[in-house]
Amino acid sequence: MTSVTQAVAATPHPLAGKRMTGAEMLVQVLADEGVDLIFGYSGGAILPTYDAVFRFNDEQVGDEGEAPMRLVVPANEQGAGFMAAGYARATGKVGVAMVTSGPGATNTVTPVRDCMADSIPIVVICGQVPTHVIGTDAFQEAPVSAIMGSVAKHVFLVTSPAKLEETVRTAFEIARSGRPGPVVIDVPKDVQNWIGEFRGTGLLPIKSYRQRIEAVQENALSASEARAFFKLLGDARKPLLYVGGGAIHGEASAALSRFARRFQIPVTTTLMGIGAFDTTDSLALKMLGMHGMAYANYAVEDCDLLIAVGARFDDRVATDPDTFAPNARRVAHLDVDASEVGKVRTADWYHVGVLERDLDALTSWGERHKFDADFSAWLAELEEMRRVYALNYDRDSKLIQPNYVIEELNKHAKGEAIISTGVGQHQMWAAQYMDFKHPRLWLTSGSMGTMGFGLPAAVGAQFAYPERLVIDIDGDGSMRMNIGELETVTTYGLPVKVLVLNNFGDGMVRQWQKLFYKGRMSGTDKSLHRKDFIKAAQADGFEFAVRLDRKADVPRVVKEFVEFDGPAFLEVIIDPDAGVYPMVGPGLSYSQMITGDHIPDRGERDPDATPGGSSMF
């Protein structure tokens, strides 16, 4: 039952009128919201709520002895935030993290910002010092509202105990509705200890927000809009669907697939949109952008109608907005967020609404009006581009190439595994070489690019789906960031598979330094080479902890790694000079794409072209 449904339900809550502490009320609302997992680290200011969770579980425990609201303790609070995010990304539900005040809260700033940047619904519940000492620099006090206000979708500081119930319900409503995002609830300790009467219903009066959400939900596609869209499609010879993470957040993947297949329109996705459309489908061009497929980027160059679905034309895709999709005579845009329409690229046709409903409406309109356009010549052209400009690498090298390792891994995952990553070269190799037949299998930090994301996100996903194959593809740099969560994996007996591609340094930074900074390895020649990842994994309880450094052993060891019954850790010593290609430099057009030594290009690139003002990865 949703928060809104609860608020208007005719049947009173069975616990309505019962006297409870604020902490007990908070926990009961979590239960009403369907929360069965909390990722968090305790501390003085949140102890009343942790105790309330313990007592709730003790009273509600099932016949099989399983707690209805399991508490998962990570190595630190950043891990808790990313575990909640991994759970949310994999399930589409709201993830929950619960931490104490001060450093407990500030350690979640990065996960909160990461979720805001990628539109991921989580609720972070922070303990806070008692209300009468807020602002006095009390022990473990931090100005959570001020800190989180600029990085979260919304922040609540609960100063009135009587409004605690409504606040928690409203936090979930905001987190999951519209364009999802993180909501932070700061709860002073005295509010947790307050005793009052539980009502079991009620929401805060956020009238303008609800009006905006309802306006989008009610903005159904009209017949005239559908007719105008199909006029654009009918005039096109080379249409292309450009799909972002919004299609996944909006549960629109099935509708997208029906639309694309019905009208035979090829699909390319952003990094965050991976899995929105089956990457093994004949219409799939996989990822576009800075490290996208060469053929996908060339398709963008050649298309005459670009149809953006839940995508925002960010700088990793529209690296040079003025030259992005230069031959697209028309641009169409479907999104749930009006602020994204026309922000970077002007749309000739657009609709702001519910993506699943609107895509199905377009499909139905086209079928009813017997729309029939022949794009077979365009599809044949793309098929040839896929053949000519396919991914490739140095297959004859005696060193282990990371591409080879992930190709082997993909044979076993078969497009059905949940894959998380850290951030860097390994992230891009995984995006390029892994297949995803369904949405919510690809968990990665997109807009923020947060190193250390992969391992805790995999933990969150594995808790959500205990029987699924969950693999964290990581780099040595990213692994160091949250390596403490290896112990979380084994403590809870999770069968997470951790693959570390070790090139002894920050490979993506080095690649940029080689290409754009004349080889000046500032900060990347640091000697962080002493970490013995195998001993670290063994120390944390991994029974399968293997280092792979012989190319001939790759197929066998990868198979053993994937098939091991339980947590498994595999470190692969890869070619330290392996690069991620293709690559579009910052501020450059796709025609300036660098394809490396093993992927051909069209010969359009100006060798003297230099990156623009943006120096982002």
Q: Are 395 and 369 in contact (CB under 8 A)?
A: no
* Of residues 86, 89, 83, 7, the one with CA closest to residue 38: 83
* Residues taking part in catalysis: 77, 139-140, 189, 508
**By the 8 A CB rule, do 375 and 523 touch?**
no
How does DSSP classify residue 583? B
Q: Retrieve residue 33's tokens.
A: 């919201």
Peptide bond into 48 cis (omega under 30): no
Place of tokens 């895709």: 317
> Which residues make Cβ contacts (< 8 Å) with residue 218, sequence separation at least 6?
none
For 296, the 3-state DSSP assignment is: helix
Structure-token match 């891009």, residue found: 428
Cβ atoms within 10 Å of 518's Cβ, excluding its own: 7
Share in percent of the chain as helix, strand, coil (round to 5): 40, 15, 45
- CA 501 to CA 548: how far, in whole Å? 10
Per-residue burial over 396-408, b if 16 or more Cβ lie within 10 Å, else e, is: eeeebbbbbbbbb
Question: Cα(580)–Cα(401) distance, rounded to whole angstroms?
Answer: 11
- Work out the angle at residue 356's Cα, subtended by the Cα atoms of residues 352 and 361, and round it to the nearest 5 degrees: 80
Length of the chain: 617
Question: Is residue 58 helix, strand or coil?
Answer: helix
Both tokens of 29, joined, read 């609302």
Q: How far apart are CA 238 and CA 61, in angstroms?
A: 58
